[in-house]
Amino acid sequence: MGVTALTNSCPDTTKKASDYKQGLIYLAIGTLLFSTKGILIKLAYQYSVSPEILMSIRMLIALPFYLWVFQSQCRQGECAQLKRKQIFLTIVFGLMGYYLASWLDLTGLLYLPANLERMILYSYPGIVLILSVVFLNKKLGAGLLVSLAIIYSGIAVVFLPDLLSNDNNAATITAQSNYWYGVVLVFASAAAFAIFVVGADLMMRQLSSKLFTSIAMIAASMGIITHLILTHPVSQLFSQSIEVYGYGFIIALFCTVIPSFLVAAGIKRVGAATGSLVGGVGPIATIILAWLFLGESLSVIQGFGFLIILAGVLNLNRSR
């Protein structure tokens, strides 16, 4: 009887291990695709497009894909089991993660280079862990606290050159003011995305990753379109250069639709806390891409700060 029980447990254990590895792969690929978004946005900004217009073009192109997935999930009978509370929470988390976080990030990129923007966004794993303790009953041990301290120390080092700057030139002060405005916007984006990640973990215990993602992204698309109607003449959507629409299509398909489903599937398999750690490949990818396509670089101090952040993540992974 004991042998039988042991034999029966092996397939479950193997399946869980396989799902976990598959989740990590999904998250890694999704994160890499998301990392290219900042580069493409900076390239699109060369054509004088506003964040709201670019964000709207991106989501209008992506929306049909999400509607198609939602319809296919409903045909399979999933929508019949939906409860009002589940729909409401999914909409809220979708608006947080892909409307509010996206708008804050795109606006912040007007004032920050893409590599620093990605570094600030990378603070979200720490926020995810704190929220996971509060809302998902995760335990936060001493090792995790040490890792969080290391990560945020690295973020502080990244901005050390700006903190030590004594340039009182009026133009420089204005530029620095805009710079720190960008920092605040991107950090707020990181916080909003962290709420989405934890919310996704919570909701995908009840819904499939495809159904959750499609509803969340449809809601985000509606939020973005509403934002555009309230702040811009809609005619501006149809007066952009062909290059802007080209970048919008690439961002929509390869930096929004595909990675959104990959990341959701990954979070469902490994959880919010572990899933957020895989985001460590994001800053590295963005730094390389920004160097290749935008000519951006990091100072020695900022590079050292990034190494500190990476060390914190590796320690965090070991602690878990």
Share of the chain above pLDDT 90, in %: 36
d(CA 213, CA 290) in angstroms, rounded, equals 29
In a domain, 4, yes or no: no
Q: What is the mean pLDDT of the chain?
A: 81
Query: Could you tell me if residue 28 is inside a domain?
Result: yes
Pick the more confident residue, 55 or 211: 211
Please report whether residue 8 resides in a domain: no
- For residue 191, tell me if it sits in a domain: yes
Amino acid identity for residue 37 in this structure: K
| Residue 15 pLDDT | 58
Any domain includes 12: no
**pLDDT number for residue 256:** 92
Please state, for a pLDDT cut of 70, what percent of the chain lies above it.
81
Query: Is there a contact between 272 and 125 (Cβ–Cβ < 8 Å)?
Result: no
In a domain, 1, yes or no: no
Report how far residue 100's alpha carbon sits from residue 69's, in angstroms, rounded to the nearest whole number: 23
Alpha-carbon span 172 to 162, nearest angstrom? 11
Check residue 277 and give its pLDDT: 67
Residue 14 lies in a domain: no
Q: Which residues constitute the domain of residue 82? A: 20-319
- pLDDT surpasses 80 at 28: yes
Mean pLDDT of 105-126: 78
For the stretch 127-181, pLDDT in tens is: 888 888 887 777 766 776 777 788 778 777 876 665 565 554 444 434 556 888 8
For residue 178, the model assigns a pLDDT of: 81
Q: Write out pLDDT tens, residues 176-196.
A: 568 888 889 999 999 999 999
Cα–Cα nearest to 113, from 190, 216, 43: 43
Model confidence, pTM: 0.77
Q: Please compute the mean of the pLDDT values over residues 193-202 and round it to a whole number.
A: 91
List all residues 6 or more positions away from 269 whose beta carbon is below 8 Å from its beta carbon: 19, 20, 22, 23, 26
- Residue 34 within a domain: yes
Q: Domain total for the chain?
A: 1
Torsion of the alpha carbons at 279, 285, 287 and 288, rounded to the nearest 10: 170
- For residue 9, pLDDT over 60 is answered with no
pLDDT at 281: 64
